[in-house]
Structures are given as C-alpha cells and as structure tokens.
Amino acid sequence: MDVGEVESMPNKEVKQVDEYAIVRQSNELVEANYRLSMAEQKVILNFIAQLDTTQKNFTVARIKAKALSDACGFNAKSGYRQLQEVLKKLLSRSVILQRRDGSGWYGSHWVQSCDYVKASNGDSDCAYVEYQLDERLCPHFLQLRERFLKAELKSLIAFTHIYSTRFYMIFKNRIKIGMARYSFQDLCQLLDLPKAYHKKTSDLKSRVIKVAVNEINEKSDIMVEYAYYKDGGRAHVGVEFTFYLKNKKTPALLSKHPANPRELTDEAQEMLQRMMNPERWNITEDVARKMIQKHTLKMLDANIRYAYKYRKGKHSLGGWLIKCIENDEAGKEQSRIAEKKAEIMRQKEKAAEAADLQQDGVFAEKGAAEQRLEQTYAVLEAMDDAPSEIGDYTILLVKKYLQSPASQSLAESLLRRYQMTVDDFKQKYMN
C-alpha cells in the first residue's frame, strides 16, 4: 500500500465539522501580522474549531476531507483537488506576533504537519486530513483565561471577501470599546497587504475597506461605520471604524427607574467601557455612569470623536473629554459650521445682486452707479473668501473709481487688497 493511503477508516477518530463550533483565539493573534487567502482562512478556522482547548499541547487530529471541503464551500466537482492545493500552501504560511512583554516579535507557521490521506479502495468519502498546528501557537488557542476572542465558526466562514474575516474578528474583539483607529501604513502592515496598496490608498479604500465593511454589514451580527482622517495635511492618512451589535443599535440611556441603579443597558455598557478605556480616556466608572445617565449615546459618541480630533496638546485626555461632553463642544462645532456656511451664502448672494452694475458693457447713470459700487466694495471687504488675485470685475471697478477724484481713495483702498498701487494698476491695465 502506498504512503498516504489507507485500507479502511483508521481507529483514531476522524472528526466531522461542527459549523456551530466556537473559535477561540488570543487578542494578540487576532491582530497579528499575516496574510491568508480566503480558502486558507476557512481551512485554518475549521482546524481551530476542532481543538480541545483544555489541553496543554496540540495533538494530531483528523477530519474528514469531504466534510472539510463542504464546510469551506469548495466546488463540488473539484473540491478535493482544491482542498489539497490549499493544504500544501498552508505548510508554508506564517504569522508574525508581538511578544507580550514588548521585547519584540516572533514568527510561527500555522501548521506543523499536514497530510491528505486517501482510501485505497478509491472511496473519496473515506479520505481524511491529518494535521497538527504549530506548537508555538499553543498559548494563543489553549487554556485561555483572559484577553481572547470567542466567535462562532459559522459566522467566520460565511464571508467571501479575503479581508472581511480579519476585520470582523478585530471588530468583534473590540465590540465593547466600539471603535478602532488605524493609519493606512499600520493597516497595510496588519493585513500584510501587497505593496501596491501602500502606494495607492484609493485602492485600499475601495478594494479592501469598503468591500469588507459592506460584506460585514450584510452578513454578520455587527454594523460597521468608518471615516477617513487627516493629520494636518490635505490627504487622508488613516481610517477610524465604529461598530456595534445590530440588535443593540438604538440609542440607549440608563434606565430611568431601573430595578438596580447600577444596571446598564448593553449599549450603555459598551459606551461605559469605551469611556473607561485605560489606553485612551481612563475615566472613572462613576463619572462615566453619570455621563451616560445624563446624555444620549449619540451625543456622547459625537463628543468622543470631537475630543479625539482635538486631543493634541491636552495633558489629561480624560479631563478634556469630560469638558467636551459637559459643554457639548461637538454640537457647538456643528452650529458654528452651519452658521459660517449660511453667512458665506448671504454674502455671496449680496455680491451677486451687486454684479449687475454693468449692463451691455455700459454703466448706469453716474450718481446711482457710484452708490452701488460702494455697496459692492463693502461686500467684497466683508467676504472671507475674497480672491487672492485681481479679477475682471475688480479691474472694472477700479477703472471706474479712477475716473473721479472723489472716488480716488476708494480705488486706492481696493487695490491695497491686492498689494498694488494706483500707478502699478494704470501701467498694467490702462496703458
């Protein structure tokens, strides 16, 4: 009998696939640096789901090839061949993890060994896969007590986009915080993206972030929103995600008359954890609870975003956040923006009304024209977005003012806006 063949089903248990099995892995592994194809991810997740997490070390396990192929959604006709190709590639796939003590990083392969075993009678239903995960990954799967992700296998393998699963695990792992922020550089490194994405952020936005978020929103139990941010320049440098469980999306407050005054709704509990986050705001539980009881979650979320946006130079981020919430700085900013836009529109409307000074290339009667010219000049002075270079209409105004000694001062004043003297103007536009 050839190596890799069996006469019959071996005595060692050959597992089926339980799509409702729970996948557990450490937070460090969730945000480790690695890249797997969609098919490779699904195979690895099925391997992980079959683990006995109470053990101290990995043991050799077996799983039916057909069950694994079906669970991964491989083609019915070519599934066995596709599965074998994926298994071969997995032998060389690695993951980079940061050491918990901050002393650097280390690398590991996903699988230590992997065999595809056929039945000698040609019965494909008897074929199985024998595998063992790399022993260096034991701390990230076995005997986990804290700081780990728990998710249903069925949810993780439902995605079809290569990066949806990664994003979903990250968001699920941080669901109590409700947000994650990455520079484009860090995101490319986290997902081990091809170099093309490092240089062309438009592709990163459209082919990675947008597609993955849309699929997560469509197929999973969480809802994700995102916004790109700048760092003092004109171009976006990163992205901030916010996310929550779909069945907990309605704005929530502390119950008005709760049976237990310390009991929060699930949505408010998530906001509580977000405000208490020791890596960012570090607000005490009592203060955070008072804020949640007093304000809507929508208002709190807006001011958290505002406080983070304008955090530079603030010595106490917790104190800064509390101030923003108490004064509703986010709401004030929105009011200022709206008022400024309204004022600009009013000024532009006035300028448009005054723009009919010339009709068919001829000015109106002198006295009335000068009155309206002065009005137009006042409007131009009041506008914040006045042009930096002298325009055709302004040239026309200056020429008109220079026709009368009485309006000479108006011409000089208007030209000062463009750092130009009367003589300079005459030489350039009146010769």
Confidence of residue 379 (pLDDT cuts 50, 70, 90): low
DSSP code per residue over 262-287: T---HHHHHHHHHHH-TTTT---HHH
Lowest mean pLDDT among 17-21, 168-172, 315-319, 411-415: 17-21
Higher pLDDT, 145 or 13: 145
pLDDT in tens, 107-131: 999 999 999 998 777 677 788 999 9
Q: What is the pLDDT of residue 255?
A: 34
21-25, 282-286, 413-417: range with highest mean pLDDT: 21-25
Report whether pLDDT(38) > 90: yes
Report whether pLDDT(355) > 60: no
Place of tokens 């001011």: 303
* Averaged confidence pLDDT in the chain: 80
Q: What is the pLDDT of residue 388?
A: 57
Higher pLDDT, 391 or 340: 340
Report whether pLDDT(369) > 80: no
Amino acid at 118: K
Look at residues 230, 237, 301, 236 and name the one whose alpha carbon lies nearest to residue 267. 301
Confidence of residue 12 (pLDDT cuts 50, 70, 90): low
Token digits for 117? 């075993």
Angle, vertex CA 180, rays to CA 179 and CA 182, nearest 5: 150
Look at residues 144, 129, 156, 135 and name the one whose alpha carbon lies nearest to residue 72. 156
- C-beta atoms surrounding 54 within 10 Å: 7
Rounded average pLDDT over 159-165: 93
Rounded average pLDDT over 273-299: 84
Higher pLDDT, 199 or 257: 199
Report whether pLDDT(137) > 90: yes
**What percent of the chain shows pLDDT beyond 70?**
81
Q: For strands 105-109 and 94-98, give the pairing.
A: antiparallel
pLDDT in tens, 200-218: 899 999 999 999 999 999 9
Q: What is the pLDDT of residue 383?
A: 47
In angstroms, how far is CA 283 from the centroid of its own chain?
24
Q: What is the pLDDT of residue 389?
A: 66
Q: What is the pLDDT of residue 116?
A: 92
Report whether pLDDT(257) > 50: no
In 3-state terms, what secondary structure has residue 132?
strand
Lowest mean pLDDT among 209-213, 249-253, 385-389, 398-402: 249-253
CA-to-CA distance for 40 and 167, rounded, in angstroms? 16
Q: What is the pLDDT of residue 88?
A: 95
Q: Could you tell me which residues are beta bridge partners of residue 238?
A: 183, 229
Q: What is the pLDDT of residue 285?
A: 82
Q: Quote the DSSP letter at residue 215.
A: H
CA-to-CA distance for 29 and 92, rounded, in angstroms? 18
Report whether pLDDT(223) > 80: yes
Rounded average pLDDT over 259-281: 72
Report whether pLDDT(4) > 70: no
Confidence of residue 316 (pLDDT cuts 50, 70, 90): confident
Confidence of residue 248 (pLDDT cuts 50, 70, 90): low
Farthest CA pair distance, the chain: 113
- C-beta atoms surrounding 14 within 10 Å: 19
Burial of 178 (0-12, 13-18, 19+ CB in 10 A): buried
pLDDT in tens, 74-103: 887 788 899 999 999 999 999 999 887 778
In sequence order, the 6+-apart residues with CB closer than 8 A to the CB of 415 are 398, 421, 422, 424, 425
Report whether pLDDT(154) > 50: yes
Rounded average pLDDT over 22-50: 92
Q: What is the pLDDT of residue 374?
A: 57
Q: Which domains does the chain have, with CATH numbers?
A: 1-157 (1.10.10.10), 250-327 (no CATH), 354-429 (no CATH)
